[in-house]
Amino acid sequence: MSKGYLGFVLHAHLPFVRHPEYERFLEEDWLFEAISETYLPLLRMFNRLISDGIKFKITFSISPTLSAMLTDDLLMKRYVKYVESRIELGEKELYRTRDTPEIYKIAKMYLDLFYKDLEDFTEVYRNNILWGFRNLEKKGVLEIITTASTHAFLPLFEEYPQAIEAQIQNAVISHGRNFGTKPRGFWLPECGYFPGLEKYLKANNIEFFFVAEHGILLSDVKPQNGVHAPLQLQNGTFSFGRDYSLTEAVWSADSGYPGDPVYREFYRDIGYDLPMDYIRPYIHEPGVRVNTGYKYYAVTGDTDDKVFYNAETARKKLEEHAEDFIQKNLRQIKKLEGLMDRAPFIVTPYDAELFGHWWFEGVSWMESVIRKCYQHRDELEMITPIEYLEIFPHNQEGTPTFSSWGNKGYSEVWVDGRNDWIYRHIHKAIDRMTELVYRYPDETGLKLRVLNQAAREVLLCMASDWPFIMKTGTTVPYAVKRIREHIHNFNYIYDNLRRNTVDTGWLTKVERKNNVFPDLDYTIFALPE
Amino acid sequence: MTRDRLFTYSVFDLYKIADNEGIKYDYLNGNREKLIEKILDALEESEKERANTNNDAMRLKSKKYDILQDCELKAQEKQIYTIPERYNDTRIVLLLRGPLWAYTYWDINESKVLELKDEIFFEGFFLRVYELGAKKASKKESYSKENILDYYDIPVDENDDSWYINLGKTGKNFGIRLCALVHGKDIVLSSSNIIKSPRGFVVENIDNLSNDSEAMTMLLSGLWDYNGSGKNVLPQRIISIMENQNLSF
């Protein structure tokens, strides 16, 4: 038995973005960038560790919307085109930078990575990288869990039990279809928890979930072990609390690892730096500059005068940072020794897309952490929540408090002056969807298609991503449009059903566009018993 | 968004950005350079405001949606989607925002509004915020006289449709009613769902632990490695607990 345990949790999620009506669509790049910069590098890294005989365990949450996109033919074909275009750009870059060795070397590094992406994606995974993750679960290194169907921030739907049930039940069904297993754990979107949520989780055979640190600290009991052991809820589910300081070691804007001057600078991309005539084929029409993935500078510091990136220097730094992370864990375990009646479990959850995408060296840092952890396994062993529960099945009983990992720890990110208008419409759509379930309890044929699409639109408008984007100001016009689209589509169906009409042409068009969860059964919006 | 990039924008697009940022530009008489300076100032201000209202987790999360460094002037999708501003029924909904704040929105049936406005003695609408005892099985029981601990009123205009409510207490049940005042009488139009503000304290007396810094450190889980300078990144709710307990970092 180890002196302490590390629960590394990665949450992979992107909202459902799919626009067959356009040749190229800007926000689809979220997915393509994540595949190239995060998901494929993670798969390569995990497989490398297995080949080297390193034993490790990661809890890996993959959202149902992300899974849906990763198994969508159109999007996956577009991803291949995306990589091919990056390869074409890379070849041009090698020629352009042939007389500048320090840039040429970096351009070659990216080009090699894109070639590897294309090979892995098309030949190893045959356009379906979910198989890669599924295979890693079979090999026993990942425990794949699920999250709410469209990543709804559940506390804002507490009064709509049918919507919460729909978000969870459909997620579990979707997980089964994609991974062939029943998920035992659940990632609460944004760690958003309210007392009572466990009822819906339990009803869907979920055994554990994660909350923010103050969810445990301010629970209805004095937590004897802080966040270093789970609380067992009355219905038998377990809540695991995030460790704040070790999560912050990666996240902190001031002192977090990714901000080190030698790491790759995210914001200096040739998509913005090179002349329009040269870069036009690789950005968006009409002349909208975007990231291309070719970034030649290091963070350097708070200056516009950046130095060129040096992969070797960055490599040495990430080794130092991995060692620092391990030492922080070990010091924490030492401090806790004797204060707990069991070995502590340190839970460090992160959004997966930050590794590789924003923090370019993040995947290599994680690999180094895993290798070092394996060396120190007598003191710090990587395990999953289920494995911790197998070692320590009896835990303090208690219920966490309403909490999230958002700013100030509650709902204010998702209910703010910039996004609060959406709830009037979403709540109304949920009420009306339930009304439709009872008005049309057993439909077939065209009406069944209409009702299932209505349910899809309701789930899609509940996504937490849109209010988040409205609040944080990244691609606001698109987020606003998405909420309006799904509410509009739902209302159109609702009004048509009241008039007993169906617009078949419109329905077919919308079904083809918003085709997430093809097996969705609209009666999922019935009120839970 | 850099100065160089703004210089590549058309005047029309610059006006559009200025409009989005709430910049008045009439007095600039089309001076492009001054307009760009104003836009840069406003963008920097917005960036700071966003940074101040988001913690590290949220700031980092926003990076995954960061595909544009320039201002997005409009969504690529051209289709216009119409949705109603309000719905023609009478309801009020209360959403919990944090230990001390809630958000409420409401709709009032149009014929009900007309009916009330036809009343000679109609004085206006108001919200009544209730602190309630236990949350009961039904709304009616929750709002029963015996279960009401306290309340206060907020006058609202006919055109208002939402409000942020300061709850004032943690760990308590709250509800809100949309009311009309007619001839000095309160008429309840709709009652909201009941919410419970989260407690802002550690349960039970922890005096026995307060002198044991290591045990307290363990209790406060994950804050062990912070010195005073790290304090500004901790959740406010945890800082206040630590301060109340005279704990040091």
| ipTM score | 0.93
Tell whether B83 is within 8 A of chain A (Cβ). Answer: yes
pLDDT at residue number B235:
53
Cβ-contact A245, A223 below 8 angstroms? no
Interface probe, candidates A270, A474, A489, chain B, greatest B C-beta count within 10 A = A474
Say how many C-beta atoms besides its own lie within 10 A of residue B114's C-beta. 9
Task: Say whether pLDDT at B237 is over 60.
Answer: no
- Residue A419's φ and ψ, nearest 5 degrees, are -130, -5
pLDDT at residue number B201:
64
CB contact under 8 A, B55 and A29: no
Give CA–CA dist A161/A528, Å, rounded.
7
Give CA–CA dist A111/A298, Å, rounded.
18
Range list for CATH 1.20.1430.10 in chain A: 414-525
State the DSSP string of A45-99.
HHHHHHHTT----EEEEE-HHHHHHHT-HHHHHHHHHHHHHHHHHHHHHHHHTTT
CB contact under 8 A, A226 and B219: yes
User: Given pLDDT bands bounded at 50, 70 and 90, which one contains residue B42?
Assistant: confident
Give CA–CA dist A48/B130, Å, rounded.
60
User: Given pLDDT bands bounded at 50, 70 and 90, which one contains residue B210?
Assistant: very low
Q: Which residue of chain B is at minimal alpha-carbon distance from A226?
A: B219
Range list for CATH 3.20.110.10 in chain A: 5-71+128-256+316-408
More confident residue, A474 or B203: A474
Q: Is A8 left (phi over 0), alpha (psi -120 to 50) or beta?
A: beta
pLDDT at residue number B73:
57
CB contact under 8 A, B202 and A217: yes
Q: Which residue of chain B is at minimal alpha-carbon distance from A426?
A: B83
CB contact under 8 A, A424 and B86: yes
What average pLDDT does the segment B77-87 reach? 86
CB contact under 8 A, B236 and A225: no
Task: Say whether pLDDT at B75 is over 90.
Answer: no
CB contact under 8 A, A244 and B201: no
pLDDT tens-place string over residues B129-157: 999 998 888 999 999 999 999 999 999 99
Sorted by sequence, the CB contacts under 8 Å of residue A199 that are 6+ apart come out as A235
- Which of A159, A401, A473 is opposite residue B198, by nearest beta carbon? A401
pLDDT at residue number B195:
96
CB contact under 8 A, B55 and A406: yes
pLDDT at residue number B28:
67
pLDDT at residue number B80:
84
- Which of B60, B87, B223 is opposite residue A358, by nearest beta carbon? B60
Task: Determine the distance in angstroms separating the CA of B180 from the nearest CA of chain A, rounded to an integer.
Answer: 21
- Which of A194, A245, A288 is opposite residue B226, by nearest beta carbon? A245
CA distances from B142 to A160, A280, A334, B134, B163 (A): 18, 63, 49, 7, 22
Cβ-contact A155, A411 below 8 angstroms? yes
State the DSSP string of B99-148.
SSEEEEEEE--HHHHHHHHHSTTEEEEEEEEEEESS--SSHHHHTSGGGE
pLDDT at residue number B242:
52
Tell whether B69 is within 8 A of chain A (Cβ). Answer: yes
pLDDT at residue number B225:
41
**Torsion sign across C-alpha atoms A359, A347, A11, B231:** negative
CB contact under 8 A, B65 and A475: yes
Task: Determine the distance in angstroms separating the CA of B64 from the nearest CA of chain A, rounded to an integer.
Answer: 6
pLDDT at residue number B216:
54
**Torsion sign across C-alpha atoms A25, A31, A32, A34:** positive
Cβ-contact A215, A225 below 8 angstroms? no
Task: Determine the distance in angstroms separating the CA of B40 from the nearest CA of chain A, rounded to an integer.
Answer: 16
Say how many C-beta atoms besides its own lie within 10 A of residue A292's C-beta. 22
Nearest Cα neighbor of A469 from B48, B235, B54 is: B54
Cβ-contact B58, A413 below 8 angstroms? yes
Which of residues 157 through 216 in chain B touch A, CB cutoff 8 A?
161-162, 193, 195-196, 198-204, 206, 214-215
Tell whether B152 is within 8 A of chain A (Cβ). Answer: no
Q: Chain B partners of A472 at a C-beta cutoff of 8 Å?
A: 50, 54, 58-59, 61-62, 65
Token reading at A283: 């950005």
Q: Chain A partners of B17 at a C-beta cutoff of 8 Å?
A: none
Give CA–CA dist B87/A60, Å, rounded.
41
Say how many C-beta atoms besides its own lie within 10 A of residue B96's C-beta. 23
Q: Which residues pair with B154 in a beta bridge?
A: B127
pLDDT at residue number A477:
87
- For chain B, the domains span 3-63, 91-196, 207-244
CB contact under 8 A, B97 and A411: yes
**Domain A5-71+128-256+316-408, CATH:** 3.20.110.10
pLDDT at residue number A491:
97
Token reading at A442: 């057993």
Task: Say whether pLDDT at B74 is over 70.
Answer: no
Give CA–CA dist B88/B111, Å, rounded.
9
Token reading at A158: 């507490």
Q: Chain B partners of A244 at a C-beta cutoff of 8 Å?
A: 221-223, 234
Maximal C-alpha separation, chain B: 70
pLDDT at residue number B170:
87
pLDDT at residue number B241:
54
Task: Say which CATH architecture domain A414-525 belongs to.
Answer: Up-down Bundle (1.20)
Q: Is the peptide bond before A189 cis (omega within 30 degrees of 0)?
A: no
Task: Say which CATH architecture domain B91-196 belongs to.
Answer: Sandwich (2.60)
Token reading at A360: 């370019």
For chain A, residues with pLDDT lower than 70 are 253
Say how many C-beta atoms besides its own lie within 10 A of residue B227's C-beta. 8
